[in-house]
Every structure is written in structure tokens, then in C-alpha cells.
A and B are shown apart, each in its own frame.
Chain A
Amino acid sequence: MSRSFRAEAVKLTRRPASWLLLAVTLVLALIFTYVFPYASIAGGTTGPNTDRTLPMLLPDRLVGNSLGGLPVFLGAIVLILGVLTVGGEYAWDTWKTILTQGPTRLQVYAGKLLVLATAALVVVLSIFAVGAVASALIAVAESQPIHWPSAGDLLTGIGAGWLVATMWAMLGAVLAVALRAVALPVGLGLVWLLAVQNLLAVLAAPLLDWVAQLQKGLPGPNAGSLAAALGAPGDTPGVAATVGGGQAALVVAAYLVVFAVIGGVLLRRRDLG
């Protein structure tokens, strides 16, 4: 598997789309978490869906602010990365090229999952790093004291962020295997993440109790609950304390495993080409 991991790592890091996705992730995180709220505070404007104040942008809120995007919009980007990493082999018909070199399907798949998990960690660490710089700059600009979260809180936050990001990457991977493509998995994954989850939460759940109960078992609301439990702002799309943080972490981890296993089973059983 280490051979597959190293090969996958080369492919991922040499692929321009990977860096583009990371850049988009960081720009979005920076703009929506810090730039727009700070501009609003600095300009004295208010909006109907946000009540962020200056203390919420300071370094001691780094963990929550860094996790806020992962349940929905940053999660969507990691999902795309998962689709590209696995689905690219279908799009370019390169499964046969790899497999005729000798590795088993599961060895290659495991290498892909491992590299996705690593990429998810890099994404989360980058979000934290960008957030740290942005919040420190705001604190300096506003002459506020800089207090960082404790190392334990940081580690917990990074761990939770990695869990959520990896789960979305695994969803992308399983969609790519199931649909043996790139475009359709990306499209369906984004529709689920950006539209269906939101509609369920905003429209269906308040009307129907069983939908509200169902929400407690779905990946998005659990990711949102985990982020909320660690201090993500409640006005961030997808962030809501539907369930407790511990349960949310377990459910997200379970989805991560289930997505990975389903993808592996499908890949192992089906013909290639």
C-alpha cells in the first residue's frame, strides 16, 4: 500500500486542480470568515442573517471560525477533491494502466484514501493557518489583545476538522466509484451538499418531525453539530447544534468508514472497462 500511497501522492501534488482547489478553499475561508464580517464591522453595517462582532474574529475564536465552513461550502470543495482523485482514473481510463503494473484494486484504493485523508489534513491545517494570520492581523489592527486557543483545543479542532473534511472526501470517492465518472459525481455531490441538505434543514425539518429526526442521522447536520460544539458561529450555513458534539463525531466517523468501505466493495466487485 505504501507504493500506492506514494504514487497517489505524486499524482495529487502534481495535478494543478489540487492546488486550485486548495487556493479556492483558503480564499473562501478567508473571505467569508474574516474579510466580509470585518468589513461589515469596520463599516458599521449590519445584515439580517449575521450578528458577528469583533470579538468573534479574534484569535481566541480560531477553532470555531476555522471549522465553520467545513459542514457545507468548504466540505463541497473537499468532496470535489475526492471525486477527482478517484474518478479521474475512470475519466482517463487509467485504472487499466495502473492495475496492469501489478497492485491489487484494494491496494490502489487504499492508497487513494490515505492520500485523500492526508490532503484533508493539509486543507484543515491550511485553513487554521490562514485563520490564525487573519485573526492576528485583525487583532493588531483593532489594538486587541491576542489570546490563542489552548493546544488541546487546537488539536481537538484540527482533529474534528480533519474528520469532517475526510468524510466529505470519502463521499466524493464513493460517488466516483459508484458512478464511474467525474462530472456526475461532482454534480450530485454538490446538489446534496449545497441544496438538499439546506432544504431539509430550512424547509422540511421545521414542518415534519420525522425529517427533523432524520436530520440527526445525516452526515451534514452531524458535521454542522460537531463544528457548532467546537465554537463555529451559528450563523454559518450548515452549522447548528442538532445533536451533541460527541454523537456528531461518532456519526461523522461512521459515515467516513461506511463511504470508504462501500467504495472499496464496489471497486473490487465490478469490471473495469
Chain B
Amino acid sequence: MNLPVHTEGLTKRYGGLTAVQNLDLSVRAGEVYGFLGPNGAGKTTTLRMLLGLVRPTAGTVRLLGRPPGAGRLTGVGALIEGPAFYPYLSGRDNLRVLARYSGVGADRVALVLDLVGLTDRAGDRYAGYSLGMKQRLGVAAALLKDPRLLILDEPTNGLDPAGMADMRALIRRLGAGGCTVLVSSHLLGEVEQVCDRVGVISAGRLVAEGRVADLRGAAVLRVLADPLEQAAARARELVGAERVRMVDGGLELSVEPDRAAWVNAELVGVGVAVRELRRRERDLEQVFFDLIEKGTADVA
């Protein structure tokens, strides 16, 4: 399989601290992959290892099929742990300097500045940029090489809501255009909106990987009824005790939501007053915390 990002057993230890442990990561061609995890989980260390900034203690990394070495970042663009540029140069001149390093033409500079909406302020000194403008310039630098693989570490940091929406749209556009995007974040909503698949890292280990919908699991049927105990008893008879949970003063039934009318009729039939009956997606945030907790507990 064509895997623009592929790691096997990737591990990084700093003395007695294991920052990343035995990480197997596979990002498929053309997908937008979300790399989720709380602060300190090992996301940035992993990305730095991918890009050769940090040397792995163990394991292998291949980007666009290439092992570490000269030329390994051809076709790869990245923004790691916030933008960093020369404060005495303008945004445009910063990109021109980087273009010299990467060997791309000056025409790309104007193009990427336009892409991130920074053309009007490109002549200003970087030192005077707002946080959001700096972030945009960082993304512009990542796009300089017209990459086939784009690695973005918390790309919406410092952006206002409109800027965040623009960034998400840009990522989706790049993904739709065939660029593989690996985007790390601790913002679930952000990942959910732009990513095809996600990997969840906790305490340096990949604790889950899959499509957001798969991680979230099937939707449940939320029931608010009186008396609740009687409703719970009848529901257990109907769908089985293992499919009924008491949550937040109501019931959650693990059944197809389109069986709502049938459940309602059965509950009403035994004298239960049904106040609310609705489909409920499993909260991604809860899924995330469950995974993190599980990962942390496994490590402990």
C-alpha cells in the first residue's frame, strides 16, 4: 500500500522518560489524517522525528517511501510547534529566504502568500505580525514546495474563529486536491471536521486509530421517561439488559435509532410516560477521554 507516512516501532526516550513508545503510524495517500492527543502526549516529538529534527531512540520512519537521509523531505511541507521566522525580515522576504533553501522559484512565494490571505501584509516586518498572521505565514512556508505530504502541528493555534474556518477549508481543499495531510491537534472539533481518519496518542502510545465515526461507535437511543425504573425494566426486557444504561437521569439504549417508535409504543404500553426520545451520537469528547484514560492506565 502507498503510505506517505509510515513508522514502525518509533520510540523516543529522554533519559528515563519515554516520550514516544513503539509507535506504528500509517497515513494513506490522499487522506487527511488527524493526530489527536492531549498536550504532552508525544505528538510534537513524533512529528519532529518524522522530519528528522529529533533522532528516534528506536524504530523506523519513511516519508513518501523514503528512509532518512538527504532529500527525504522533497515533496514534504511542515509546520511544527508554531511558526518561527526572522523578525527583522518581512513575511515575503522570510519566504524568499526559505525558497532559496528549498530551491523553489520566487513565483511560489506570491502564490502561497495569496493562498493564506497574507498578500496585503507581506511587506511588513515579521516582528509586527499578530499571532494569527504568524501562523498563516507558517502555513505558507509549509506550502512553498507544493508538497505532496503536508505535516501541520496545531495549525489553528492563535487564529480567530474566521481564521480557523479558513484554515480548515484550506486543509480540506488540499486534501481534496490529492495532498496527503497529517494534522496534529488537541481540538476534537477541528479534527472531526477535516479528517478522514484519526490516530489518538496518549502517554506516547497510539491508543486508537480509525475513522472518526468508527471511534465514536454507533449512535444510541436516548430516553427520558417516568417512572425511570419502570422504563428501564421494560427496556431491558425489550432489548436485553446489556444494551441499557442509566445515564444523566435517563436511559441510553444501544439499538438502531430507527426503532424509536417501537420502543416508545412498548414503554407507553406498560404505563410509562415518555418525555423525550431521540437519537444521540456518542460524544467524541467522551470517546477521546475514555481512550486517553485507557492509554494512561495501560502505561501505568
* Interface set of A (CB-CB < 8 Å, partner B): 3-4, 6-7, 10-11, 14-16, 88, 92-104, 108, 271-273
Contact = CB atoms under 8 A, between A and B. Distances in A.
Contact of A4 (B70, B84, B101): B101
A140 B185 CA distance: 72
A14 B97 CA distance: 11
B186 interface: no
A101 B53 contact: no
Contact of A96 (B71, B80, B97, B103): B80
Given A273-B53, A273-B54, A98 B87 contact: no
B273 to A, nearest CB: 61
Contact of B142 (A4, A94, A100): A100
Nearest to B90: A14
B85 A92 contact: yes
Interface string B149-170: 0000000000000000000000
Contacts of A6: 100
Contacts of A3: 100-103
A15 B141 CA distance: 20
Given A92-B85, A92-B86, A272-B53, A10 B103 contact: no
A273 B98 contact: no
A10 B87 CA distance: 14
Contacts of A92: 84-87
Given A93-B82, A100-B80, A103-B101, 7 more contacts: A10-B97, A97-B83, A100-B79, A100-B142, A102-B76, A103-B102, A271-B55
B96 interface: yes
Nearest to B73: A102
Closest 3 CB pairs of A and B: A7-B100, A101-B102, A93-B84
Contacts of B87: 92
Chain A, interface SS category:
helix
B93 A14 contact: yes
A71 B51 CA distance: 41
Contacts of A101: 73, 98, 101-102, 141, 144-145
A11 B98 CA distance: 10
Contact of B73 (A7, A100, A108): A100
Nearest to B94: A97
A273 B55 CA distance: 11
A108 B102 CA distance: 11
Contacts of B77: 100
B100 A94 contact: no
Contact of A7 (B70, B76, B82, B101): B101
Interface string B2-37: 000000000000000000000000000000000000
Contacts of B82: 93
B118 interface: no
A98 B48 contact: no
B199 to A, nearest CB: 21
A120 B179 CA distance: 44
14 contacts: A3-B102, A7-B97, A15-B86, A92-B87, A94-B84, A96-B81, A97-B83, A100-B51, A100-B53, A102-B73, A108-B101, A271-B53, A272-B54, A273-B81
Contacts of B80: 96, 100, 273
Most buried by A among B87, B98, B100: B100
